A = this chain, B = another copy of it.
Amino acid sequence: MNIGIVGLGLIGGSLAIDLHHQGHTVIGVSRRVTTCQDAIARGIVDIADTGFAPLSEADIVFLCTPLGVIQETVAQLIPHLPTTTILTDVGSVKQPIVEAIAPVWPNFIGGHPMAGTAESGLDAAQANLFAHRPYVLTPLDSTPPVAIQQLTEIVQSLGAILYLCKPSHHDQAVAWISHLPVMVSASLIQSCISEPDPNVLQLAHQLASSGFRDTSRVGGGNPELGVMMARYNRVELLRALAVYRQHLDQLMLCIEHEDWPALETQLTQTQQARPRFVDEPLSNT
C-alpha cells in the first residue's frame, strides 16, 4: 500500500518507521528540506518532499501536523488527491476537526493515537511507539465502510488497541482524563508558588516529594500543548472544570464544617473508583 505522512515529527516519524518496516511504500511530506533529507537518510520513507504532489499516489494519508494547522493543510492537500484517498489525522481533539474536514472529504476519518514521549521531533521517533497503546478512530455514520476497514487494519498492524467512537464522545472522555488533569495540576503549582512567606515557600520546595511530583507533573508540561487542548476542546473542558469546581467545593465544605464522616465517604469513593481508570490495585497510602 502507498501511505502518505504529512508532518514528520514524533508521531509522523514513528508511523513512518513502523509502516515502512511492514513493507508499505511511505511518502513523507515536511515543510523543511532538512527533515525530508533526514527521513530519507534514516531509510524510514521511500519518497520525501516539501510539496504535496507525490501524495497523489497515496492510498491513505496520515495528517501529523499540529492541531492548529490541520485544516489549512487539508485545504492545500486535497487538490492533489483522487477522491478515493483515505485521509486521517492524529490530533488530540476530534469534534472540530471532523466537523471541518468530513464535509469536504467524505473519506476522512478522525484519529487519535494516544502515545508519546517526553521528546518531540523526528529525532524522537521510534519503532513500536503505538504498540499496546489506545488508538481512537471516530468515523461518522456517513463514512464509507471500506475506508473504516482499511484504516482499522493499519491501526491494528501497529499493535495499537483500537477504539471506535463518536468524535464528541472522544472529546468528552479526553476532557476528563487528559485535559482536566492539566488544568487541575497547573492550578496546584500556581497556588503553591503564590505562598507569600519565603521561609514557607523554601520549605515547600525542600519537602515536596512523590505526592507533589505526581500531582503536578502534567501541570508543569508544555504550555503550548495545554493551550491547544483548551482551545480545541474548550466547551468540553469548561464543562469538566465546572463539574470539578463543584466537587472541590463539596470537599471544602466537608472540611470547613468538620464533617469527617462525609469527607471519609468521598475519599473512600475515590479510592474505590480509581482502579477502574488505571489498572492498579487499591492504594493504601
Q: Which residues of A are interface residues toward B (Cβ below 8 A)?
A: 114, 116-120, 133-134, 136, 163, 165, 169-170, 172-174, 176-178, 180-195, 197, 199-200, 203-209, 211-227, 230-231, 234, 237-238, 240-252, 254-256, 258, 260, 263-264, 266-271, 273-278, 280, 282-285
Contact = CB atoms under 8 A, between A and B. Distances in A.
Interface of chain A, main secondary structure: helix
B204 A277 contact: yes
B180 A266 contact: no
B216 A277 contact: yes
A120 B169 contact: no
A229 to B, nearest CB: 10
A200 B173 contact: yes
Contacts of A252: 183, 238, 241-242, 245
Contacts of A243: 191, 194
Given A165-B203, A184-B215, A255-B234, A284 B222 contact: yes
A207 B283 contact: no
Contacts of A218: 211, 214-215
Contacts of A274: 189, 216-217, 219-220
B208 A177 contact: yes
Given A199-B165, A264-B224, A180 B185 contact: no
Given A118-B285, A195-B172, A205-B276, A271 B163 contact: no
Contacts of A260: 227, 230-231
Contact of A223 (B116, B247, B271): B271
Nearest to A260: B227
A251 to B, nearest CB: 5
Contacts of A249: 245
A260 to B, nearest CB: 5
B270 A190 contact: yes
B134 A190 contact: no
27 contacts: A165-B203, A172-B195, A172-B203, A173-B200, A173-B207, A176-B191, A176-B204, A184-B215, A186-B251, A187-B244, A187-B248, A189-B269, A190-B250, A191-B240, A194-B247, A215-B218, A216-B274, A220-B270, A220-B274, A220-B282, A221-B285, A227-B264, A231-B260, A234-B258, A238-B255, A241-B252, A242-B252
